[in-house]
Amino acid sequence: MLSNIRIVLVQTFHPGNIGATARAMKTMGLSELILVNPRAFPDEEATRMAAGATDVLEHARCVNSLEEAVSDCVQVVGASARLRSLPLPHFDEPDDMAQQVIENAAQAPVALVFGRERSGLTNDEIRCCTHQVSIPANPEYGILNLSQAVQILAYEVHRAWRRRDDSHFMYQRPLEATPPSREQFVHFQDHLGRLMQQSGFLTQPHARTEEQLQALFSRAQPSRKELSLLRGLLSAFESHLPDSREV
């Protein structure tokens, strides 16, 4: 179950933070580290800060985009000190997040995503997430060091895992009731976007209509079954468009 939980660091600037993250992860039983375009890796400072967790570093994967890091995940939680304008479901308490993550990780990969030291996560990156979480802290200075933020969320995940009710997990949700992977969700959003264009529903290219509808579907958190019903509905509409094959 813990092996289904990955920690994703986006464009980390200081390699020492990557090492300290590996150590924070290992102390809490996590081993899957993905680095999206790190500035310097592998690096001596990372190895030094990892101390006894160099195995986590050696096993870490580097990728070029957040999308690539999370496309097979059914839940992607972006850690952010600040509330953004994007209306994603938000966990105000890390322990609530951890319980849900543990439940999902019993069946499929999930990710916790951390941003750059200076600028956090971009809006586009937050759009790759299904949820956001904040670590409640001093309102006057609530921004933690990157690896310390990882430590706190990893601790909560480990705590939820220790306290899990195994009898609950004996009952496996049917596959169709599980959340879709990010890849399946992106396909749905592309399909929706395409149909909005083809049907003439989108008239002004710069209006935020598409974004607002996508946010609505993200918030609704449809199951795989529900998403495939929606895809069927879109295909039915599509087949009635006069020039649907040409666009």
Q: Report the interface residues with ligand SAH, using CB under 6 A.
A: 79-82, 114-115, 117-121, 134-135, 137, 142-144, 146, 149
What is the DSSP code string of 143-199?
A: PPPHHHHHHHHHHHHHHHHHT--HHHHHSPPPGGGSPPPHHHHHHHHHHHHHHHHHT
The smaller minimum CB distance to ligand SAH, of residues 80 and 104, is found at 80
CB atoms within 10 A of CB 34: 19
Minimum Å gap between C-beta 203 and ligand SAH is: 35
The smaller minimum CB distance to ligand SAH, of residues 132 and 218, is found at 132
Residue showing the smallest CB distance to ligand SAH in the complex: 120
Give the C-alpha separation, 53 to 21, whole Å: 9
In 3D, which of 73, 94, 120 has the Cα closest to residue 28? 94
Minimum Å gap between C-beta 49 and ligand SAH is: 16
> How many angstroms separate the first and last alpha carbons of the chain?
44
Give the C-alpha separation, 62 to 64, whole Å: 7
CB atoms within 10 A of CB 36: 23
Query: Does a cis peptide bond (omega within 30 degrees of 0) precede residue 38?
Result: no
The smaller minimum CB distance to ligand SAH, of residues 3 and 145, is found at 145
The smaller minimum CB distance to ligand SAH, of residues 119 and 197, is found at 119
Minimum Å gap between C-beta 19 and ligand SAH is: 15
Minimum Å gap between C-beta 242 and ligand SAH is: 47
The smaller minimum CB distance to ligand SAH, of residues 130 and 178, is found at 130
Minimum Å gap between C-beta 120 and ligand SAH is: 2
